[in-house]
Amino acid sequence: MTSAARQDEPSATGAGDPAPAPQFHGTVWVALILMLWLGVQPARAAAPDPLPAWNDGPAKRSISKFVEDATHAGAPTFIPPSERVATFDNDGTLWSEQPSYFQLAFTLWRIKSLARRHPEWQAEEPFKSVLAGDAQGALQQGQAALLELIQATHTGMTLDEFSGAVKEWAATAKHPKTGRLYTEMVYQPMLELLAYLRANGFKTYIVSGGGVEFMRPWVERVYGVAPEQVIGSRGALRFELRASGPVLVKEATVDFVNDGPGKPVSIENFIGRRPVFAFGNSDGDQQMLQWTAAGAGLRFMGIVHHTDDAREWAYDRQSSIGKLDQALDEASTKGWLVVDMKKDWKRIYPFDK
Amino acid sequence: MTSAARQDEPSATGAGDPAPAPQFHGTVWVALILMLWLGVQPARAAAPDPLPAWNDGPAKRSISKFVEDATHAGAPTFIPPSERVATFDNDGTLWSEQPSYFQLAFTLWRIKSLARRHPEWQAEEPFKSVLAGDAQGALQQGQAALLELIQATHTGMTLDEFSGAVKEWAATAKHPKTGRLYTEMVYQPMLELLAYLRANGFKTYIVSGGGVEFMRPWVERVYGVAPEQVIGSRGALRFELRASGPVLVKEATVDFVNDGPGKPVSIENFIGRRPVFAFGNSDGDQQMLQWTAAGAGLRFMGIVHHTDDAREWAYDRQSSIGKLDQALDEASTKGWLVVDMKKDWKRIYPFDK
C-alpha cells in the first residue's frame, strides 16, 4: 500500500492515536511532503489499467477521456454523480446474439424440459419439431408458431417458477458453437467498461429488447447490474392472492416492447433522467442513442460493430439479427464511437486467452 | 466533533502527517483509550433522535426496533443492504389528500392557465364551470368530464412542457384550507422516517397511484427521493424526432394504473425485488402490504390512519378519498403497525409549531 493510497482510507485508530508513529527516514519524509505539495499521486500512476481487454487506440482513449472529463470537478464537462446514468443494450452489446437471440435458445430448451407435463406436444406442431430436435423446422412455421413457443415457456406460471427455469438454463445450457454456458459468452471489454463506469460513480442500466424477467435472474452475477437497473420488454403480470399467499402470475399479454423508439420511452418511465452515456449495437438502439445525444453537456454514444468472424461473428447491414444500418450511418455523421470488435478488442470473451 | 465521530472520517492529512499532534492531557488520553477498548461509543449515545416528530410510544418504538434489527450484522434479522427496499404510497401517506387529491388541484389550476390558448373553453363544459370558479359543478358532470379535464392538462404536449407546468404549480399554488403550498403539506414524521431509513442503507421508493410525471418534478427536493425511485400511474409516451431534436410526447392512452393489485406488479416491473418495508394509508395499498408481508425474513408493514381532524383530517372506512377499510381489518389481524396520527405524531407538517 502506498502512502497516497492510505490518504483515501479512514484512519484506523483516530487522529489522536497514541500508537508509535511509523519510522521513516528523513529523506522519505521530504519526498512525501514534496509529492503532496506538487500534487504528484503515485497511487494513480500505479493504478492498473481499468480496460485491459481494449487495445490501445482511439476507441479506448475516447472512453477514458469521457470518464475523466465527466468526473473532473470544476471543469465545464463535469457531470454531477446523480446525473451519471449509463444505459446499455444487452443482445449483441454485452453478450453475443448469434446464431439466434439467446432468449430463443432458452425458449427451445424450456420446451424440452416442460415436455414431460405436456405429452400432447409429441404430436402437435410447433412443439413436435422442437422435441424432435428440428428447431429450424419449428421456426419456419412462422410468427404464430414462434409466439406459441414463447407463450408456452414464458406465461401461465408464477414469476418464481419462471425465474427458477431461467436460473437452471443459465447454469447448464451450452452454446452450440463454443460449447460454453451462454452466460460466459459476454464481452470482456464491456464487463470492464461497466465496472470502470461504476467505479467512477455511474449507475449502469441495461435497456434491452429482451424480457426483463429473463435477464434479472443472472445479470447481477454476470454484469454486476442490480435488478432495479434492468429494463426490458415486459409481459403483463397479475397479482393473485392464493391460499398459500400472494403470487405474481405471468400473463400472455405483452405489455411493452422495449425496442427502437420504446427505449427512450422506458428510460423515461423507469429512470426519469436522460442518460449521459449509451451503448448499443443495432438499429434498435438508434433512438436511445439519439435521445442520449440530444441532452445538454458532455455525452457519450457508442456502438459495438460486429466485425470479427474468427473470434465472434461479422454482420451489420444485411443481418436479420442485430441489423446495424441506419444507426451506423448516423454514428458516422454524428461522430459517435463505433467499436471495431476485431481491431479494438484484445479479447472477446472472459475465457479467451 | 467527538473523537469517536472522527474515527469514521478519512484522515485529512494521512497517517504520516508531520503536523504537530494536538495537545491532550494525560487523563484525556487514558479516557479515550479506555473508551476504545471497552467499545463505548460516545457519538452514538449523543446522537440526536432521528424521529423527533414522533411521540414516544409503540409506533415509534416498532420502527426503531425494525431498523436496529435489520442493520444488526450477524443477527438472524439482518437484511443485506442490497435488499433494503422500502416502498411508500404518496397521497395520504407522505402528503395530505383532502379535500381532494392534490393532482386534481393541479388539473384545475392548469385549466385556468391554459385557458388563454383555448378561448372556446369559456363556452364549453366542463371547462366553463372550472373557469367560472365552480370546480364542484365541473366534477359533478361525471367521469367523462373529469377525464376530459385530465386529458386537456396532462396529454398532447411534450414531457418537458408538462414538467414545467408541474414545477410552476408546485412553486406557487396554495391549498384552500391551510393557505400553504401543496408541497409544504407533507408529513414531518414521514420525512424523518424516509431520512432515517436512507441513513440506514435503505432505498426509499414512492409507489403511488398518482402520475409518475406529476411527482418527479418536486419529490426529490421535497422528500429526497430520486426520480429513478418514483413509481406511479403512467400515460403512454411517444418518441418523436422533430427538426429541433427528439422529444417525448405525452399521449392520451393510459398505460398503467398503479393502484391496488397494480402496486406489487409495478414494484416487480421496476425494482425486481420484494420490499422489506412498506407504508400506505388506504385499501389501495393493501396488496403492496400483502406482497411485502409474504416475503421471508424481517419485514415491516405500516399504515397511516387519519384520525386528527383538528390538525389534519379524520377519515377511514366511509371516505371516497383514501378509503381505509379492508386494509385496516387486515392490519389488525396481522399485527401491522397502524399509526394513529393524532396520538403518534407530535407534529403533522413541517410548518407546525
Instruction: Report CB contact under 8 Å: B228, A271.
Output: yes
ipTM of model: 0.85
**Nine cell digits for residue B292:** 411485502
CB < 8 Å from A in window 55-84 of B: 82
* Statement: residue A31 has pLDDT above 80: no
How does pLDDT run across A162-172, given as a tens digit for each residue? Answer: 999 999 999 99
* Residue A293 vs residues A64, A168, A264, A289: alpha-carbon distances, Å: 18, 39, 12, 6
Compute the distance between CA of residue A303 and CA of residue A328 in angstroms, rounded to an integer: 8
Compute the distance between CA of residue B124 and CA of residue B118 in angstroms, rounded to an integer: 10
Top pLDDT among B12 and A218 is at A218
* Residue A248 vs residues A161, A240, B261, B272: alpha-carbon distances, Å: 10, 6, 10, 12
Residue in B closest to A37 by C-alpha: B13
Q: Give residue A179's region: left, alpha or beta (phi > 0; psi -120 to 50).
A: left
Q: Who among A15, A22, A239 is closest to B287 (CB)?
A: A239
Instruction: Collect all residues with Cβ–Cβ distance below 8 Å to B259 and sequence separation of at least 6.
Output: B209, B233, B284
Residues in A touching B82 (Cβ below 8 Å): 226
Residue in B closest to A85 by C-alpha: B228
Residue B76, exposed/middle/buried by CB under 10 A (0-12, 13-18, 19+)? exposed
Top pLDDT among B55 and A15 is at B55
Q: Give residue A177's region: left, alpha or beta (phi > 0; psi -120 to 50).
A: alpha
* Residue A54 vs residues A166, A190, A315, A335, B160: alpha-carbon distances, Å: 31, 9, 21, 20, 39
In this predicted structure, what is the pLDDT of residue A250? 97
CA quadruple A221, A224, A226, A232: dihedral positive or negative?
negative
How does pLDDT run across A65-117, given as a tens digit for each residue? Answer: 999 999 999 999 999 999 999 999 999 999 999 999 999 999 999 999 999 99
Residues in B touching A216 (Cβ below 8 Å): 272
Residue in A closest to B261 by C-alpha: A239
How does pLDDT run across A126-140, given as a tens digit for each residue? Answer: 999 999 999 999 999
* CB-based contact, B238 to chain A, within 8 Å: yes
In this predicted structure, what is the pLDDT of residue A12? 36
Lowest mean pLDDT among A32-36, A306-310, B96-100, B347-351: A32-36
Question: Tens place of pLDDT for every residue, chain B, 353 residues?
Answer: 333 333 333 333 333 334 444 455 566 656 555 555 555 555 555 679 999 999 999 999 999 999 999 999 999 999 999 999 999 999 999 999 999 999 999 999 999 999 999 999 999 999 999 999 999 999 999 999 999 999 999 999 999 999 999 999 999 999 999 999 999 999 999 999 999 999 999 999 999 999 999 999 999 999 999 999 999 999 999 999 999 999 999 999 999 999 999 999 999 999 999 999 999 999 999 999 999 999 999 999 999 999 999 999 999 999 999 999 999 999 999 999 999 999 999 999 999 98
Query: DSSP state, B231?
Result: E
Strands A203-211 and A85-88, sheet pairing? parallel
* Statement: residue A4 has pLDDT above 90: no
* CB-based contact, B8 to chain A, within 8 Å: yes
Average pLDDT over residues A197-217: 98
Q: Give residue B142's region: left, alpha or beta (phi > 0; psi -120 to 50).
A: left
> Which pTM value belongs to this model?
0.86
Distance from CA of B208 to the nearest CA of A (A): 14
Q: Which amino acid is at A109?
A: W
* CB-based contact, A314 to chain B, within 8 Å: no
Paired residues of B181 in beta bridges: B174
Average pLDDT over residues A169-198: 98
Q: Who among B14, B234, B271 is closest to A7 (CB)?
A: B14
In this predicted structure, what is the pLDDT of residue B353? 84
Query: DSSP state, A201?
Result: T
In this predicted structure, what is the pLDDT of residue A2? 37
Q: Are A169 and A106 in contact (CB under 8 A)?
A: yes
Residue in A closest to B290 by C-alpha: A246
**Nine cell digits for residue A332:** 458516422
Tell me the three state secondary structure of residue A329. Answer: helix
**Nine cell digits for residue A253:** 399479454
* Statement: residue A216 has pLDDT above 50: yes
Nearest to A207 by CA among A233, A176, A177, A168: A233
* CB-based contact, B294 to chain A, within 8 Å: yes
In this predicted structure, what is the pLDDT of residue B31? 59
Compute the distance between CA of residue A40 and CA of residue A284 in angstroms, rounded to an integer: 45
Strands A314-315 and A300-307, sheet pairing? antiparallel
Distance from CA of B5 to the nearest CA of A (A): 9
